[in-house]
Amino acid sequence: MPQATREIKRRIKSVSNTRKITKAMEMVAAAKMRRAVAKVLATRSYADLAWQTVIHLAKKVDTRHHPFFRERPEIKNVALVLISTNRGLCGSFNINLVRQVTESIKIHHPQLKTTNIISYGVRGRDEARRRHLNLIADFHKEDITDDSTIIRPIAQLVAKDYIEGRCDKVFVAFTDFISALEQRPHVKQLLPIVPKIDERLGHIIHEKDLAADINVENFSEFIFEPDTKTVLDAFLPRLVEVQIYQAVLESEASEHSARMMAMRNASDAADEMIGDLTLAFNKARQAGITAELADITGGRAALE
């Protein structure tokens, strides 16, 4: 067999082996995506309704009862929780998220030299370092987030820093799951909790917003037992924890969807490459056969 055809055949075998790997990874990502999507859909309504309820509550209750409602007159420090992935092979998932974070910092807080980044995920941490962002904390991220207790230390850290005045605003950056084909990097303000939040930083409204039809003006008053401060002190830190947990679930569903699509595109590209190499192999083999026939015919003619 000529050298050219042997080389093409070797490349076809290599690409075929790669395609087997990407196909297997696509199937694994699809299975993980189905579980992640089921989890995010099961908790999304609760997280959205709890957040919208507190937003409506802030319009009717004296917000001086809790520091989470108080807007600082001067913004000196901002904390941002960056939720990314531990592994790659998911396209531009993490790069788009960090780009959204840097753009948000430039748009909303250009006067700040630094924004304190709290990373949750290896890839986001590495990308933040590469872009020279101010990384102050890094939390170990599990591949699968089973319950909200895993992210409780993050929620406690940002809540404590906000109450003690070490930061004046708290944001969470994550990738919002829209569908298997669409995921949007998003930055959401957690603290302070204000009735009106900048639309570019507010939560993406999903297809069904359970709190959208609530008209808080219909409520004359809210009754708290035993008292307003006790209820808010117990509820609001838990609300922040739920919002970060929901952001983690959204990010995980988006991650597996992005990885599934990336592996599917890689498998399709491998199929296309195998087809091109097979065509080149057949042409090279046919050219070799034609050359051999020409040599045989020429030799026979020379003998005659």
Sorted by sequence, the CB contacts under 8 Å of residue 34 that are 6+ apart come out as none
- Residue 284 CA to residue 131 CA, distance in Å, equals 48
- Other residues' Cβ atoms within 10 Å of the Cβ of residue 255: 28
Residue 82 lies in a domain: yes
- Other residues' Cβ atoms within 10 Å of the Cβ of residue 290: 10
CATH number for 50: 3.40.1380.10
What pLDDT is recorded for position 304? 66
Can you tell me which residue has the tokens 């067999």? 1
Q: How confident is the model at residue 154 (pLDDT cuts 50, 70, 90)?
A: very high
What pLDDT is recorded for position 85? 94
**Counts of helices then strands in the chain (DSSP H, E):** 5, 5
Structure tokens, 273: 């490459």
What range does the domain containing 134 cover? 25-260
Q: Tell me: the pLDDT tens digits for 15-74?
A: 999 999 999 999 999 999 999 999 999 999 888 888 888 887 777 777 666 888 888 888
- Residue 276 CA to residue 286 CA, distance in Å, equals 15
Residue 290 lies in a domain: no
Structure tokens, 195: 């009735």
Residue 149 lies in a domain: yes
Structure tokens, 200: 């570019």
Closest to 234 in 3D by CA, of 78, 65, 42, 43: 65
Amino acid at 63: T
Structure tokens, 214: 């609530």
Structure tokens, 115: 């924004």
Residue 93 lies in a domain: yes
| Helix/strand/coil for 172 | strand
Residue 295 lies in a domain: no
Q: Mean pLDDT, to the nearest integer, of 280-302?
A: 76
Residue 297 lies in a domain: no
Element holding 169 (H helix, E strand): strand 169-179
Produce one character per residue of 84-117: b if its CB has 16 or more CB atoms within 10 Å, e if not: bbeeeebbebbeebbebbeebbeebbeebeebbb
What domain count does the chain have? 1
What pLDDT is recorded for position 217? 55
What pLDDT is recorded for position 66? 80
Q: Tell me: the pLDDT tens digits for 164-218?
A: 888 889 999 999 999 888 899 999 989 888 765 543 333 333 434 444 455 555 5
Closest to 191 in 3D by CA, of 234, 224, 157: 157
Kindly report the average pLDDT of the chain as a whole number: 83
What pLDDT is recorded for position 199? 39
Residue 279 lies in a domain: no
What pLDDT is recorded for position 269? 93
Residue 11 lies in a domain: no
DSSP 195: S
| Helix/strand/coil for 81 | strand
Closest to 208 in 3D by CA, of 1, 52, 10, 103: 52
Are the C-beta atoms of residues 233 and 66 closer than 8 Å to each other?
A: yes
